[in-house]
Chains A and B, each alone.
Chain A
Amino acid sequence: MSLIRSLGIVVLLGAPLGLLTTTSTADAAVTGNCTATASFITGTKARGPFTVDTATIGNDTIKVRRSDTVEWKGGVPAPPGTFSGFVKIDLPPLVPDVTVETWKGDSQTTENSGTKKYDLPGIVPAGVTFQVIGRHADTNGVCSGVVDVEIEGGPFDSPLTAVSLVGTVVTAAGSAGAVRPLFRRVRS
């Protein structure tokens, strides 16, 4: 086996595995004096209806249904005055984050609540950890939080998984064809 062939195999297999060992999901964490709860009315198949509370969330990954109704409640310790905030989904470097919700205004109310229905499309992958980031700023200070969220289900719930697997096989065959001269024996 030639040096180039050995090196190619080591790099092809080793680079992705080496990268995987350095990746990790950030822990769920909430800083500041805000409080928030979200009750998922239908809940997951495994747990049924459940409530998420920022005070007790810890580092758990929250599994949710693809579609559900959420009763939410948020509060701050003192009248906020001018306020603003956002909730967004963190995406890989160089890819812009997806903003789910933004708010801003001027108020003296310390609590707010509501009900929101959501229905995520089938192409959103299940079983993949999303990092949801929230931030609220008002005249009393800033509070922020990071929560790991996962849609209940398996990889083949999304049609994109099959597309990706077929794409992998097709491009692997193409790449092998392009570098085929590397695997030819050199005649002396």
Chain B
Amino acid sequence: MKIGRIVITGVLCLRLFGFIALDLMFFGVVSLNSAVLTILPLIGLVLGGVLGAVASTRGSA
């Protein structure tokens, strides 16, 4: 398992989900005070970390 890939994937997914949250806000899907804007990037971080961990095992297999 490569720590570097886990961190990179986690940060990339954090940013991806952060931008998705901003898109949802700019297009009026969620309000400015919605918890989605906070939660979505955190989900991205965790999900990215998990996917990065799985990908690192698959990559080295």
Contact = CB atoms under 8 A, between A and B. Distances in A.
Interface of A: 4, 8, 11-12, 15-16, 19-20, 23, 25, 89-95, 125, 127-131, 148, 155, 158, 160-161, 164-165, 167-168, 171-172, 174-175, 178-182, 184, 186
Given A16-B40, A167-B19, A182-B55, A130 B32 contact: yes
B19 A182 contact: no
A184 B31 contact: no
A184 B30 CA distance: 36
A168 B19 contact: yes
A26 to B, nearest CB: 8
What are the 10 closest A-B residue pairs judged by CB atoms, nearest first?
A: A181-B59, A129-B31, A168-B19, A171-B16, A90-B33, A92-B37, A181-B58, A167-B19, A164-B22, A178-B9
Given A179-B9, A181-B59, A131 B33 contact: yes
A12 B39 CA distance: 14
Given A92-B38, A182-B58, A131 B23 contact: no
Given A12-B47, A174-B12, A181-B55, A129 B32 contact: yes
